[in-house]
């Protein structure tokens, strides 16, 4: 990896793009998600993602269970006791004693992407917008990227073997259009735009919720100082990341590769020197 894993990085210029456009991304505000699944449907329709079944899994309206090769957007439905009456209803009104937490999950398009580091064919590449895309016609189905993703996003399609995931609608954004999921979202829970602008808007949204008494509101994946250098798709959550099935401290899985290669090189040199000394000793 060319730059410090934990320092700020603009991934497109780092990948060699000259005069790259601003980095684009998603901000998903779960506080206004209504679980309509319009994002899931729009993603499937635009990208011709295969049907993945309609089993409810015994978990409310969740028929997919998580991100997969056939689910590039996944809407989670999490039922829990209602802790925040200010946010969920006016005092004095009769309200259920539970709440739904809903969240549309997606590939994070990491700043430091382990999947890119381990791909042996170049099927995964960084776009000029800073996003990460899989070229299915180049993928050989090795699965290295599946193990390298700290979020468990990438998956291989059954019967196909190749890796598939969200492309942030690379074909659409290249034409100046909004990704299908954000275009279809009726509440603007999914927002698309320049990542720096989205981060500013997200900070203002959290401050507004805190002022309204929703102290549980927090951002996830927005910080350039986290274990992946910040995400190209980040979230406003109303509870701990683990509640949503997200790792609390994601770390790029290839962060130790440079040190490992250095140690391997030193070990190889040491071994070569030992062999040379032994050979010269025997000749004498």
Supply the pLDDT for residue 262: 45
Predicted local distance difference test score (pLDDT) of residue 94: 61
Q: What is the DSSP track for the chain?
A: --S-TTS---HHHHTT-TTPPPPEEEEEEGGG-----HHHHHHHHHHTPPP-----TTSTT-SS-S-BTTBSSEEEEEEEE---HHHHS-TTS---SEEEEEEEE----BSS-HHHHH-SSS-EEE-TTS-EEE-TTT-----HHHHH-TT---EEPTTT--EE-----HHHHTTTPPPHHHHH-TT--EEEEEHHHHHHHHHHHHHHHHHTT-TT-EEES--TTSBTS-BSEEEEESS-GGGGT--SS-B-TTTTHHHHHHHHHHHHHHHHHHHHHHHHHHH-
Closest CA to 78 of 66, 69, 90, 87: 66
- Cβ–Cβ contacts within 10 Å for residue 271, how many? 10
Residues in the chain with pLDDT values less than 50: 1-6, 88-89, 259-264
Sign for the CA dihedral angle at 140, 145, 146, 152 comes to: negative
What digits encode the pLDDT tens for the residues 266-284?
Answer: 555 666 556 666 666 666 5
Strand pairing report for 124-126 and 132-134: antiparallel
CA distance 54 to 70: 12
Span 11-253: which CATH code?
3.30.70.20
Judge if pTM exceeds 0.85: no
∠ CA 116-196-187, rounded to 5°: 95
What is the tens place of the pLDDT at every residue in 66-119?
999 999 999 999 988 876 555 544 555 566 678 889 999 999 999 999 999 999
- If phi > 0 it is left, if psi is from -120 to 50 it is alpha, else beta; for residue 43 that is alpha
Domain ranges within the chain, ordered by starting residue? 11-253, 256-284
C-alpha–C-alpha distance, residues 101 and 35, integer Å: 9
**What is the reported pLDDT for 254?**
82
C-alpha distances out from residue 224 to 15, 23, 167, 178, 219, Å: 17, 13, 21, 24, 12
């Amino acid at each position: 990896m060319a730059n410090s894993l934990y320092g700020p990085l603009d991934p497109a210029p780092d990948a060699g793009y000259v005069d790259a456009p601003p980095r684009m991304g998603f901000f998903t505000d779960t506080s206004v998600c209504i679980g309509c699944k319009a994002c899931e449907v729009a993603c499937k329709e635009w990208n011709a993602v295969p049907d993945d079944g309609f089993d409810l899994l015994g978990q409310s309206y969740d028929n997919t269970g998580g991100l997969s090769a056939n689910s590039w957007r996944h809407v989670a439905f999490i039922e829990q006791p209602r802790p925040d009456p200010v946010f969920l209803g006016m005092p004095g009104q009769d309200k259920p004693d539970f709440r739904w937490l809903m969240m549309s999950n997606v590939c994070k398009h990491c700043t430091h992407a382990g999947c890119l580091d381990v791909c042996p064919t170049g099927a995964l590449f960084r776009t000029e917008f800073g996003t990460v895309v899989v070229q299915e016609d180049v993928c050989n189905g090795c699965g290295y990227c599946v193990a390298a993703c700290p979020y468990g996003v990438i998956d291989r399609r059954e019967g196909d073997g190749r890796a598939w995931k969200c492309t942030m609608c690379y074909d659409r954004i290249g034409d100046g259009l909004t990704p299908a999921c954000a275009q279809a979202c009726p509440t603007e829970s999914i927002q698309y735009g320049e990542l720096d602008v989205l981060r500013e808007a997200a900070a203002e949204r959290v401050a507004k919720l805190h002022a309204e008494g929703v102290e549980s509101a927090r951002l996830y994946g927005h910080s350039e100082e986290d274990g992946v250098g910040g995400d190209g798709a980040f979230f406003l959550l109303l509870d701990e990341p683990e509640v949503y099935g997200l790792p609390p401290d994601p770390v790029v899985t290839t962060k130790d590769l440079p040190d490992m290669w250095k140690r391997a090189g030193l070990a190889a040199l040491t071994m070569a020197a030992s062999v040379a000394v032994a050979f010269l000793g025997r000749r004498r």
